[in-house]
Chain A
Amino acid sequence: MIASTGPYFQDAISTLISLLTLFSFLAVTVLSLVWLERKALGRLQLRLGPTRTGPFGLLQPIADAVKLVLKEDIVPNEAEKVIFWVAPIIVVISAFMLWVTIPLTPSIVVQNLENMGLFYVGAVGVIGILGLVLAGWGSANKYGVIGGLRAAAQLISYEIPLIMVFVSIAIVTQTFNLVEIVNLQSPVPFILVLPLGFVLFFVSGLAEVGRTPFDIYFAESEIVGGPFVEYSGAHWAVFFLSEYINTFAIATLTVLLFLGGWSGPFLPSIVWLLIKIYAVILLIFWIRGTLPRLRIDQLMAFAWKVMVPLSFYLVVCCSIYVFYGLPWWALTVMSIFGLGVVGVIIYQYITAPARKVAEVRERLRLLQMSQEE
């Protein structure tokens, strides 16, 4: 009897160890991201960023974490206590569960789910929405309710293009195995094969993690933090943690699916992977430092009128490619064609106010000219 449970027991122990390793890796990553974001945004805005804590303010995230954990954890009187407590846990667990199958190299992975990998990522990623809605509802705050409902609308809408991109990649590669997908990219990374897929994935990824210009569900200047408005102390820290883990996950998936993963010359594969991930993350921070925020109706219109049709178009393209066995650049051409056509539509859509402005200014100029005469 003991002999029969032996291998399972060993398996459980090794999984536990790798989960703990994963947890500490992610915690360190989050700390580095917090520091990097504050420092990068600071320099972008001609500021210094954190400087007081350690050299270059490197210990700032640790100071933040200590402060947050030691802070009083306030639960509003009117709040649904259970929901209020459970919501952050749901969010953070879904954020962590995502990482079970994401490989950092072919060998560094908790449990490669073989042909379930991408499917699992798509499925688990949705759970976090529930936590946000519950957090908004449970905190008995109107801003929280608005934020939670916004989160539900936004995240579910953008989940569709995200999953459709997964599907098209699965069609092209004929596998859900993330390691396989990365290995198939060795001559040509998928950003060249599926540029449209990359754009779709990156944009909806930004929306999924609520990064500017899609930081609508916790918009500080409108609904003062949305679902997180009543949270403080350790609970808020948990939300914070999961937000950064999700950002890191989206960057990692972008790298794995489109940028060739860990492949690269000279350096060890894990270093290549981290370089690529941090490059994508810096891009996300750069966008945050530049753009204003969209409005909820514009965001939803963008999702359902642009992103969702485009993602279906991508799936159709990939099917045609696989069915007729075309060369890989045919998919690029189709992809760029779709990107071009819809790009023009988006351009028309998004620059309608700009064109109106130009028109108005022209009218104004003519008016002034006539006045001068």
Chain B
Amino acid sequence: MLSTVKGMIQTLSSTWRGLRKPVTKLYPENPTVLQNRFMGFPGLTWDKDIDEPFCTGCMVCIRNCPTQCMTATMKDNPKFADESSKRRKIVDEFEINLNRCILCGICVDVCNFDAIVMTHEHEESGSYRDGSRMKLDGLLEIGGKYQTQSGWKPAPKD
């Protein structure tokens, strides 16, 4: 009986706490605070010095992806010809099926060019079936957004 009474007092005090300061927050008004390392959907980064993506389409992320959610092709870099860029090849097409992506971050770990990042993007939705397939421009867009938001810098070369 005593423990029941204790429980009643506990819930009474929690009601008081709930009336003053409930734990729940209304969602769109108080958006979820994302931690710095939050891993949202992957995005591609943009090399602002040369004005081209970091990605060369080398396929290492695609080979290491546990769910095979990405595809990419590479092409000769036109900027390499006029010597404004050191990249011999550059990404031509890149596609991530965000429905298959499990946000594990392995692609970021294995990338040799710091070309792919886990952005803070996590509220994607689409109304048609192919809407979850994100193409190069979309990936560069969310990657660029992440770059400006978080002040992301490529790792210094050893």
Q: Which A positions have Cβ atoms within 8 angstroms of B?
A: 40, 42-48, 51, 286-287, 289-291, 346-347, 350-351, 354
Contact = CB atoms under 8 A, between A and B. Distances in A.
Contacts of B14: 44-46
Interface residues of B toward A: which range? 10 to 19
Contacts of B23: 46-47
Given A42-B18, A289-B11, 4 more contacts: A40-B15, A48-B22, A290-B4, A290-B7
11 contacts: A43-B15, A44-B18, A46-B17, A47-B18, A47-B24, A48-B26, A286-B8, A286-B11, A286-B15, A289-B11, A290-B11
Contact of A286 (B1, B12, B18, B22): B12
A84 to B, nearest CB: 38
Contacts of A289: 11, 15
Given A351-B1, A354-B3, A44 B15 contact: yes
Given A46-B24, A47-B23, A47-B24, A291 B18 contact: no
Nearest to A213: B4
Main secondary structure of the interface of A (DSSP, over half): helix
Contact of A350 (B1, B8, B15, B17): B1
Main secondary structure of the interface of B (DSSP, over half): helix
Contacts, number: 46
Contacts of B26: 48, 51
Contact of B22 (A46, A346, A351, A354): A46
Contacts of A346: 1
A350 B15 CA distance: 27
Interface centre among A45, A48, A290 (most CB of B within 10 A): A290
Contacts of A45: 14, 18
A220 B15 CA distance: 24
B155 interface: no
